[in-house]
Chain A
């Protein structure tokens, strides 16, 4: 039950795009049609679900204050948390590279669907953001962090697909000239965000 509410919370309430604006750059750039945005969304889900648990383990056993005490009691006072950012980004870049190679090797169809997006994803703020939020939440187990990552990914996927569908329709509507393009894209995302806020239950 706790896990389920964590999942729902990360999909709808702490939605990566509408509540924290993470991954906005690729969200605005790739959402021209539903099909490609679905591909990017799935890739983000996938990478989040892999990198966040890995970073959880690294954070728990290497980076936190006193985390190295499992090695020897001499290391009890070591606090490596200032290395968090550089280690997390290195892990993410490495895993994305590995995933790209693995997918290319095992499934060419999947590679053609996701392949073009994977290099983009290493520098997508939603991925690093997922790991950093995971660190702030202090999850008790590895599985919690996995559920959180999956939920955040699904939330991102939901947002970009919904937005792409709206944008496809937008092409036929009569928008004032200066507002066309990015202007209306921001305002629509804002309005969608207001809709999502309702799920918070004020």
Chain B
């Protein structure tokens, strides 16, 4: 069990392994898309790990990448259609990044490193916790960017008007994409400093 919990902090996919950064940064300007994206990646990662692990003995090694891509894109299409049907606004906000889950390195990395050589249940849990570890970073960055950038959380205002009358201003810089990189850089800094 301890091994499965590693992706949450000690072996976090984004902060330690620098995988799956592509989508992690682009969707974190607000909390809501970040949470939806995290859930989507977790679902895709867990279930594609499960399926690949179930069929791992029948995949010829030469074409395994193509098989993996097909399985992953099957689940991404399901998630994409689900989001368009039930969470249309958020799905518009995420735009191409839902489709880009297919090429998310975390998923391919877990399939290659874990699912191809382990039994279905451990593979499912491994995918689940790697997805959650990814989600943790997304949520952390999303909270900071939304509160500092727009003064809201999940769309609701959290800073009282008194702050604004005292001269407090939202930091518009936080909403811009480069700040996501700087925040993740700082997260890595904090984590390394605490560990050493």
Where the two chains meet, the residues of A that have a C-beta atom closer than 8 Å to any C-beta of B are: 18-25, 28-29, 82-86, 88-90, 93, 122-125, 127-129, 132-133, 136, 176-179, 182-187, 189-194, 197
* Contact, CB under 8 Å: B100 / A183: no
* Contact, CB under 8 Å: B65 / A186: no
Q: A86-B77, A187-B186 are in contact. Are A25 and B100 (CB under 8 A)?
A: no
Where the two chains meet, the residues of B that have a C-beta atom closer than 8 Å to any C-beta of A are: 18-26, 65-66, 69-70, 73-74, 76-77, 80-81, 95-96, 99-100, 102-105, 108, 176-182, 184-186, 188-189, 192-193, 195-196
| SS of A interface (majority) | helix
Contacting residues, chain B, for A125 (C-beta < 8 A): 22-23, 100, 103-104
17 A-B interface contacts by CB (under 8 A): A21-B21, A24-B22, A25-B21, A28-B18, A29-B18, A88-B99, A90-B69, A125-B23, A127-B103, A129-B103, A132-B100, A177-B196, A182-B188, A186-B182, A187-B182, A190-B182, A190-B185
Chain B: minimal CB distance from A71 (Å)? 24
Chain B: minimal CB distance from A83 (Å)? 8
The listed residue (A22, A176, A192) touching B100 by CB distance below 8 A is A22
Contacting residues, chain A, for B188 (C-beta < 8 A): 179, 182-183, 186
| Nearest A residue (CB) for B107 | A123
The listed residue (A28, A82, A194) touching B81 by CB distance below 8 A is A82
* Contact, CB under 8 Å: A194 / B178: yes
Contacting residues, chain A, for B193 (C-beta < 8 A): 178
